[in-house]
Amino acid sequence: MADNLDLVTSSDPLHPSQLIPELCQLFYQLGWTTGTGGGVSIRVDNLVYIAPSGIQKERIIPLDLFVMELSTSRVLRAPPAPATPSSCTPLFFNSYRLRNAGACIHTHSPHAVLATLVYSGPTFTIRNQEMIKGIRQGTTGRGLQNHDTLVVPIIENAPREDQLTDAMAAAMAAHPDTCAVLVRRHGVFVWGATWEQTKVMTECYDYLFDMAVRMRHLGLDPAA
């Protein structure tokens, strides 16, 4: 495997190799990627940019990134061993293959994890919140209305992240309009057509998870 340094070398601040480190720093500040948790992947056509596994997210630099070919899953560019691609890679690929996503963000945000604990069933539900308008309908790409009911499927956690691949795909098939899947006691995966849409929706989902938990704590019903 050639090093293909050019794949992660760019002077464009919006190039995935520049953007992923920048977003990882922001997400660390938001409490989404503490302790090497969570991650970001961006796709440009057939190229998928992925952070390495088990590395402090807020310290990632462009040279740490992997680049994979979507159609073949082949690694086109890797940093020096012993780095391995994020263990979330098959989950990121779910969003690319099943939804043609342009990016996928995974957080371990306490808001997401608490939402999966407060909602003990198979879905998270909230309605009548302005921030729901920031979420798009998976099938049409149109924004939801603030009086729509937002439903996010929750799958059960597994020992390894690749063991979540099928359950995540099944939840996506059962919920064609969702742009996110929660993983109980673990976090959330959010995808969208572009990195901007994905980041914006991740912020909206996170806000709504937090709002729902706070409402429950205050004795209010988020789904009313």
CB of 203 to a second copy, least distance (A): 4
The piece of 4-12, 61-69, 71-79, 112-120 that touches a second copy (CB under 8 A) is 112-120
The piece of 1-9, 92-100, 168-176, 214-222 that touches a second copy (CB under 8 A) is 214-222
Binding of residue 186 to a second copy (CB under 8 A): yes
Which is catalytic among the residues 69, 130, 156, 196? 130
Other beta carbons within 10 Å of 96: 19
Could you say which of 73, 147, 176, 194 contacts a second copy (CB under 8 A)? 147
Binding of residue 175 to a second copy (CB under 8 A): no
3-state secondary structure the chain: CCCCHHHHCCCCCCCHHHHHHHHHHHHHHCCCCHHHCCEEEEEECCEEEECECCCCHHHCCHHHCEEEECCCCCEEECCCCCCCECCCHHHHHHHHHHHCCCEEEEECCHHHHHHHHHCCCCEEEEECCHHHHHCECCCCCCECCCCCEEEEEEECCCCCHHHHHHHHHHHHHHCCCCCEEEECCCEEEEEECCHHHHHHHHHHHHHHHHHHHHHHHCCCCCCC
Give the separation between CA 89 and CA 32, rounded to whole angstroms: 18
Task: Output 82 or 159, the one with its CB closest to a second copy.
Answer: 159
Binding of residue 200 to a second copy (CB under 8 A): yes
Binding mask 69-108 for a second copy (x = CB under 8 A): ---------------------------------------x
CB 107 within 8 A of CB 187: yes
Could you say which of 151, 175, 210, 223 contacts a second copy (CB under 8 A)? 210
> How many residues does the structure list for the chain?
224
Give the separation between CA 152 and CA 63, rounded to whole angstroms: 35
Binding of residue 145 to a second copy (CB under 8 A): yes
User: At which residue do the structure tokens 């608490």 appear?
Assistant: 114
CB of 219 to a second copy, least distance (A): 10
Annotation says 22 is catalytic: no
The piece of 62-70, 74-82, 173-181, 200-208 that touches a second copy (CB under 8 A) is 200-208
Could you say which of 4, 6, 69, 117 contacts a second copy (CB under 8 A)? 117
Residues labelled as active-site residues:
130
- Name the residues that contact a second copy, by CB under 8 A: 34-37, 56, 108, 110, 113-114, 117-118, 128-131, 134, 145-147, 157, 159, 183, 185-187, 196, 199-201, 203-204, 206-207, 210-211, 213-218, 220
